[in-house]
């Protein structure tokens, strides 16, 4: 008997050609609108902006309450491009440093927690306590202790963004099917390869959801730090502008902040998509 290809449970997929030959039936308009990329969200944004502009003008809402979008766009012109770049760079730098530190600290902690129940019993309550400390409230103390350069701001960013990373990484590292761990043990392989070749790749979907949550948190962390003590950065700029009642430029700063957050989130998403497509749920590949 020669090898038989397994046909019993593989239904042949209908080919493209066969589908093209079928009578053309269009799905309902509603379905097509939903499936068109970027169409519905784009339209919604546009509608919100139009409503915002017309309503604030119609009701003559004072700009310190809510400036119309057109005034916010003007607000971008209140400060030179170089100054904007400086603020964005400052926030970006602190957010990224805090993020990288958070990743570097949480991976070994997560590996420890996944490997040892003993360590979990010792460390986990402590981590929860740290997470429960309102960082905004300790921020002034951290600034006093660490001075006024990047260090305290990076620490504050780290404190805000690291917990979701530890939780998602630990969950991921524990999610490996036990049979794969048994396979690893049955091969008498060096113990670290259980992590490098099985557990960490298996944890990637979880790690990436943590990375996505944490990257936006790290931007928030940087802004919180800038609220407390800074002489540059978008958080500093928004606070400063608000205190001077220059609301349109504060809103412009806020828009940039949101754009920065979205951009960083997209970068993480794209890294996952390009390098680890199998770690995404099937329908989003």
Query: What is the binding site for another protein (CB under 8 A)?
Result: 1, 3-6, 8-10, 177, 179-180, 182-190, 193, 197-198, 201, 276, 278-279
- Which single residue is written with the structure tokens 């931007």? 219
Q: Are 91 and 233 in contact, with CB atoms under 8 Å apart? A: yes
Query: In the chain, which residue ranges form alpha helices assigned H by DSSP?
Result: 16-21, 29-35, 39-58, 69-76, 81-115, 117-132, 135-146, 150-174, 178-186, 191-193, 200-228, 234-243, 247-275
Minimum CB distance to another protein, residue 201 (Å): 6
- Which single residue is written with the structure tokens 């400036």? 67
CA dihedral 163, 266, 247, 242 (to 10 degrees): 30
Minimum CB distance to another protein, residue 189 (Å): 4
* Cβ nearer to another protein, comparing 9 with 283: 9
- Direct distance between the N- and C-terminal alpha carbons of the chain, in angstroms, rounded to an integer: 40
- Which single residue is written with the structure tokens 């049955």? 186
Counting every residue written for the chain, the total comes to 285
Six token digits for residue 256:
């940039």
d(CA 157, CA 185): 39
* Cβ nearer to another protein, comparing 24 with 188: 188
Minimum CB distance to another protein, residue 194 (Å): 8
* Cβ nearer to another protein, comparing 203 with 219: 203
Sorted by sequence, the CB contacts under 8 Å of residue 220 that are 6+ apart come out as 160
* Cβ nearer to another protein, comparing 161 with 279: 279
Neighbours of 107 (CB within 10 A): 18
* Cβ nearer to another protein, comparing 38 with 191: 191
Minimum CB distance to another protein, residue 18 (Å): 20
Minimum CB distance to another protein, residue 200 (Å): 11
Q: Are 223 and 235 in contact, with CB atoms under 8 Å apart? A: yes
Neighbours of 256 (CB within 10 A): 18
Minimum CB distance to another protein, residue 119 (Å): 20
Minimum CB distance to another protein, residue 133 (Å): 34
* Cβ nearer to another protein, comparing 21 with 190: 190
* Cβ nearer to another protein, comparing 7 with 243: 7
Minimum CB distance to another protein, residue 19 (Å): 20
Q: Are 167 and 175 in contact, with CB atoms under 8 Å apart? A: no
* Cβ nearer to another protein, comparing 8 with 132: 8
């Amino acid at each position: 008997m020669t090898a038989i290809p397994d046909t019993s449970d593989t239904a042949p997929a209908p080919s493209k050609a066969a589908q093209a030959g079928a009578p053309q039936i269009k799905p309902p308009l509603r379905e097509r609108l939903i499936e068109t990329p970027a169409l519905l969200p784009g339209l919604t944004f546009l509608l919100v902006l139009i409503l915002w502009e017309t309503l604030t003008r119609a009701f003559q809402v004072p700009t310190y309450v809510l400036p119309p979008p057109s005034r916010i766009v003007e607000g971008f012109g209140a400060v030179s491009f170089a100054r904007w770049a400086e603020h964005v760079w400052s926030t970006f730098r602190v957010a990224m440093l805090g993020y990288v530190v958070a990743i570097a600290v949480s991976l070994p902690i997560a590996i420890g927690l996944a490997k040892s129940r003993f360590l979990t019993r010792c460390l986990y309550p402590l981590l929860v306590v740290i997470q429960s400390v309102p960082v905004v409230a300790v921020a002034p103390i951290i600034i006093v202790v660490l001075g006024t350069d990047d260090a305290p701001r990076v620490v504050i960013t780290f404190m805000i963004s690291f917990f979701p990373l530890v939780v998602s990484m630990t969950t991921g590292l524990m999610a490996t099917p036990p049979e794969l761990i048994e396979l690893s043990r049955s091969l008498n392989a060096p113990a670290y390869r259980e992590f490098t070749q099985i557990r960490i790749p298996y944890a990637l979907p979880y790690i990436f959801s943590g990375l996505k949550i944490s990257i936006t948190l790290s931007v928030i962390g940087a802004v919180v730090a800038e609220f407390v003590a800074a002489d540059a950065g978008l958080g500093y700029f928004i606070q400063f502008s608000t205190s001077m009642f220059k609301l349109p430029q504060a809103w412009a700063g806020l828009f940039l902040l949101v754009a920065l957050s979205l951009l960083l989130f997209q970068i993480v998403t794209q890294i996952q998509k390009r390098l680890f497509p199998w770690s995404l749920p099937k329908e989003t590949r």
